[in-house]
């Protein structure tokens, strides 16, 4: 079940203080052309739109970006080096660290909060593609991504008051799903996982992307499961080593499909979501958008090597 757990965190804990904070491989991985993604506040849309195809591809090919975290997402800070903090992201399981996904985030994109005041009985998860965080005067403050989760202070007819790294703010009631913090998001089935990804068809692929501003292949798989109450590993290789193994002739919508080099015999490099009827929903690669395709006659048909199921009826 996907729920925010706080046992690992000290009484004073760190959370993301920007709409999307990118988790870099090293402090020096961020380039000058990435400044819209490393500033405070960020301009994620401006950053993604400003990058050329070659600039975007280099985020992967030069091993610059690891993952991303959303506004208010808690992290463990293990080291501070100049203007960057080394973090562990417990909400994103990884073989790289048993506590969660590791990497470096600009220190100015993090804020300290009091855990006792931060944790509330209810949590609001943004269910719209994007939602504007507002101040008390209903002025738009910051555009937030789908699945951003914030503690609930109070629920009104039109707005939900939430706790943020910058004090109490408001989200439109129609744009959020409120759930019990202790119990987590209610679990959906395989069809629900597919439906969670449909609104993002045509959204451009973004390496390391974990937000509605851009997903990579495993980020899309992670987000669609998160939306339906399942916490799965962050990376495709880890996703393929967990869950329930599914025979390739017994696939159901919502199952994850894995693809490997050397016609399925080499290293896993891609993951998609089984759509049904021999089709796959996936975020393919830099320069392309999220799509639904038929597997038959494609390179993916030859590279398909495994399937896993995380959902339950």
Residue-wise pLDDT for 224-249, tens only, equals 999 999 999 999 999 999 999 999 99
* Sign for the pseudo-dihedral over CA of 277, 270, 109, 48: negative
Catalytic annotation present for 282: yes
**222 φ, ψ (degrees, to nearest 5):** -65, -50
Mean pLDDT split into 10-residue runs, the chain, 313 residues? 79 97 98 98 97 98 98 98 97 97 98 97 98 97 98 98 98 98 96 98 98 98 98 98 97 98 96 98 98 98 98 92
Residue-wise pLDDT for 105-133, tens only, equals 999 999 999 999 999 999 999 999 999 99
Domains of the chain: 12-115 (2.30.30.40), 120-180 (2.30.30.40), 190-309 (3.90.1720.10)
Q: From the candidates 60, 166, 177, 282, which is the catalytic residue?
A: 282
Taking the complete model, does pTM exceed 0.85, yes or no?
Answer: yes
Q: From the candidates 60, 166, 177, 217, which is the catalytic residue?
A: 217
């Amino acid at each position: 079940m996907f729920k925010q757990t706080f046992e690992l965190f000290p009484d004073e804990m760190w959370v993301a203080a920007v709409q999307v904070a990118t988790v870099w491989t090293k402090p020096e991985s961020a380039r000058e052309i990435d400044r819209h993604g490393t500033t405070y506040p960020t301009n994620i849309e401006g950053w993604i739109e400003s990058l050329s195809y070659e600039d975007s591809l280099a985020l992967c090919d030069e091993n610059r970006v690891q993952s991303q975290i959303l506004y208010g997402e808690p992290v463990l800070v293990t080291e501070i080096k100049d203007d960057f903090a080394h973090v562990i992201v417990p909400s994103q399981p990884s073989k790289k660290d048993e506590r969660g996904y590791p990497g470096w985030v600009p220190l100015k994109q993090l804020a300290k909060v009091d855990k006792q005041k931060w944790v509330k009985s209810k949590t609001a998860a943004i269910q719209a593609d994007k939602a504007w965080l507002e101040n008390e005067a209903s002025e738009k403050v910051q555009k937030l991504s789908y699945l951003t989760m914030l503690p609930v202070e109070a629920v009104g007819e039109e707005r939900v008051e939430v706790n943020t790294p910058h004090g109490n703010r408001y989200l439109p009631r129609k744009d959020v799903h409120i759930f019990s913090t202790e119990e987590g998001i209610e679990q959906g089935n395989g069809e629900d996982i597919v439906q969670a990804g449909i609104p993002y068809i045509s959204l451009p692929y973004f390496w390391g992307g974990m937000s509605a501003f851009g997903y990579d292949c495993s980020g899309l798989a992670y987000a669609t499961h998160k939306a339906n109450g399942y916490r799965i590993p962050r990376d495709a290789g880890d996703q393929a080593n967990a869950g329930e193994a599914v025979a390739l002739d017994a696939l159901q919508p919502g199952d994850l499909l894995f693809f490997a080099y050397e016609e399925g015999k080499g290293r896993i490099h891609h993951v998609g979501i089984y759509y049904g009827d021999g089709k796959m929903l996936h975020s393919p690669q830099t320069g392309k958008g999220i799509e639904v395709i038929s597997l038959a006659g494609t390179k993916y048909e030859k590279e398909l090597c495994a399937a896993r199921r995380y959902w339950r009826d």
